Amino acid sequence: MILRSALSLALLWGLLSCCLLAAGETGRLRRRIVLAFSFTAGAVGMLPLLASMPGDLPFALLRMFIAALLLAMVLVSSAALLSAPGRGVRSTIWRERCAGWGRKMAPVLFPALNGALATAILAGSPSTSRLTVVAVTVVTAFLVASLVDLLINMLPYRPRFTTLTLFLLASSLLFCSAAFSPRLDLFAPLSMKIMKFTHDFLHQFMESMLLPDHLFINPPTWNFVGFFFSQEIGFWGALLLWFAPVLLVCLVVSRTPLPSVAHVRQGARRRSLIAAALRERRGLLIIPAVAALVLAFSVYRSQFPDVLYWDPAPIAVEATPAGDIAIPLKQGELDLRDGKLHKFSYSQGSTLVRFFVLERGDAVVVALDACAICPPDGYGQGEGSVFCYYCKTLIPLETVGRPGGCNPVPVPFTSSDQTLRISTLQLVNLWNSTVQVTTKNAGGKR
């Protein structure tokens, strides 16, 4: 899997460097050197960051940078739309100035971020030396970059870039690179934030309007309102924001004014000039279209991450006559203190409760295979974290066992004689109350 990620990242880097090479103004050799230096600096610079900061902090920092890039893309494309040609000298001067900065910044910023992403994603493998991974990535990336460059040179038509479309494609490739790791992926947390914002906003709105939750709202209306509390609102809202830069850039390109042909006497010549301008405009839409495809792929990667989570089948347990569930910490091959997630299920009437046991550092924790927010899709175990299948959130192992947010709901238990004891009454009540709330949050869809 690490090899596949390395190759995918190298391919993305190849595409990125090719578009940066194609769009640059200085000599190709000089641009190549700048790109190579920036990529290597970003890749190597990430190593001390990973070593000096514990846990997910370096990843959080990197993700913050990428989120800032998404915000910048939305702002830049909105500004480009608002300052479209014909809006006055001042906006033209600013547009030219920003384009100049962009052209200077792009060959340094994007490769450096791409290098840092590559290291962060590939160096996560404990079995591989981080330095070896970086070296392999850098070498593969440059081989792929040269190959893609060669192939692009063989195309009969070379895509046209503007600074804006270059930014768009380069950012999209970075978002796509980030989607290779759930810890760096931007789309899933973005959809969660939007879902939470919508939920909080509606809740506050209803509170401020003194509207009670249920009293005057019949179930069909509540189902409609429920959509705004469901995961779908987050997904569609995030999609809108995710593709907003592409849409805005397409609008900017399509609003580019056609040349003035009033002075051309011959009709055919006049039409030829207009047709050439329209062709050029269509050519400029190729890059946003490619960016849209790359962004769509990153959404797919985010929704269906190619990461293998440890997710064992739940072991069915029975209650003792005293009404407890007793699970020995070690029995045969089963060792609850091996650091892996161990899932269990307990059935009472029509209720099937899922919970898991996990050793976190020095203590064993018991938690429901569900959280207080999402419908109970359960958790898988990744490196240093558990992963909520419903909202795609990574929960660091250090916080498993604490209540709140998307953390698994902790289950009270006692431990004696190397055996865990859980009250079935508490367990079933906890499961029922949790699932009842989270099902309502999902808009009655589950």
Q: Which residues bind other proteins (CB under 8 A)?
A: 266-272, 274-275, 278
Of 154 and 268, nearer to other proteins (C-beta) is 268
Q: From the CB of 261, what's the least distance to other proteins, in Å?
A: 10
Cα atoms found within 13 Å of the Cα of residue 438, Cβ hemisphere only = 23
d(CA 33, CA 271): 44
Q: What is the DSSP letter of 398?
A: G
Of 280 and 311, nearer to other proteins (C-beta) is 280
d(CA 8, CA 304): 16
Of 280 and 398, nearer to other proteins (C-beta) is 280
Q: From the CB of 103, what's the least distance to other proteins, in Å?
A: 32
Q: From the CB of 272, what's the least distance to other proteins, in Å?
A: 5
Q: Which two tokens stand for residue 81?
A: 């739309």
Of 258 and 289, nearer to other proteins (C-beta) is 258
Of 127 and 260, nearer to other proteins (C-beta) is 260
Of 36 and 261, nearer to other proteins (C-beta) is 261
Q: From the CB of 256, what's the least distance to other proteins, in Å?
A: 16
Of 87 and 255, nearer to other proteins (C-beta) is 255
Q: What residues pair up with 415 in beta bridges, in sequence order?
A: 420
Distances in Å between the Cα of 254 and the Cα atoms of 81, 166, 245, 381 are 10, 16, 14, 47
DSSP state letters, 46-57: HHHHHHHS-TTH
Q: Which two tokens stand for residue 333?
A: 């091959």
Q: From the CB of 283, what's the least distance to other proteins, in Å?
A: 16
The helix or strand, by DSSP H or E, that contains position 419, with its residue range, turns out to be: strand 419-423
Q: What residues pair up with 334 in beta bridges, in sequence order?
A: 331
Give the distance from CA 337 to its chain's centroid: 32
Q: What is the DSSP letter of 421?
A: E
**Burial annotation 57-94 (CB, 10 A radius, 16+ → b, else e):** ebbeebbeebbebbeebeebbebbbebeeeeeeebeee
Q: From the CB of 273, what's the least distance to other proteins, in Å?
A: 8
Helices (H) and strands (E) in the chain, counts: 12, 13
Q: From the CB of 267, what's the least distance to other proteins, in Å?
A: 4
Of 139 and 275, nearer to other proteins (C-beta) is 275
Q: From the CB of 270, what's the least distance to other proteins, in Å?
A: 8
Q: What residues pair up with 363 in beta bridges, in sequence order?
A: 360
